[in-house]
């Protein structure tokens, strides 16, 4: 299944895998759907594609770290599972009381040659069991450290 990236104006360029015909389409109506589509080209080829609305590349990682929930006096150990310039996904090693919209301070070390330490607050966007997805409060402040790391 081909991944098609969507720009800021909800436009996507679909390319037929058989004849290579390109078509620019508005995908606004698909923003809140499952984003897996079946397309049919003028040449008759039927193919599947996935729309990717993400603004930033997400890198799969396995980094040890810790969290602290502001206002709840709770802390614990975590594994960072993926990271982008906009946010992060981590798993708590033990049961937790993290809630959606909590502000959580994260501290972890990148596995780059300089072993860059990251200490940053995130807003919790979703929780599934031990897994938590968060959005960085101030992504611009992390660009210097995360930008080069995410490009490797």
Structural domains for the chain: 2-52 (no CATH), 59-150 (2.40.10.220)
* pLDDT at residue 119 in the model: 97
Q: Is the pTM of this model over 0.85?
A: no
* pLDDT tens digits, one per residue of 22-67: 999 999 888 777 678 899 999 999 999 988 776 667 899 999 999 9
Pick from 79, 57, 69: which is nearest to 146 by CA? Answer: 57
* pLDDT tens digits, one per residue of 112-139: 999 999 999 999 999 999 999 999 999 8
Residue 106, C-beta contacts closer than 8 angstroms, at least 6 positions apart = 65, 66, 67, 78, 80, 88, 90, 118, 119, 120, 121, 122, 134
Asked if the model's pLDDT at residue 68 lies above 90, the reply is: yes
């Amino acid at each position: 299944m081909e991944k098609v990236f969507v720009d800021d104006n909800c436009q996507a360029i679909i390319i037929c895998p058989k004849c290579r015909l390109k078509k620019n389409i508005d995908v606004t109506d698909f923003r809140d759907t499952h984003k897996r589509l079946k397309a049919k080209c003028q040449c008759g080829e039927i193919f599947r594609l996935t729309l990717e609305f993400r603004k930033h590349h997400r890198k799969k990682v396995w980094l040890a770290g810790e969290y602290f929930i502001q206002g709840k006096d709770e802390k614990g150990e975590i594994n960072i599972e993926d990271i982008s310039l906009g946010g992060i996904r981590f798993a708590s090693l033990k049961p937790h009381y993290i809630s959606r919209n909590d502000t959580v301070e994260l501290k972890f070390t990148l596995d780059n040659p300089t072993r860059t330490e990251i200490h940053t607050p995130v807003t919790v966007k979703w929780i599934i069991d031990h897994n938590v997805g968060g959005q960085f409060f101030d992504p611009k402040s992390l660009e210097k450290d995360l930008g080069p790391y995410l490009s490797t």
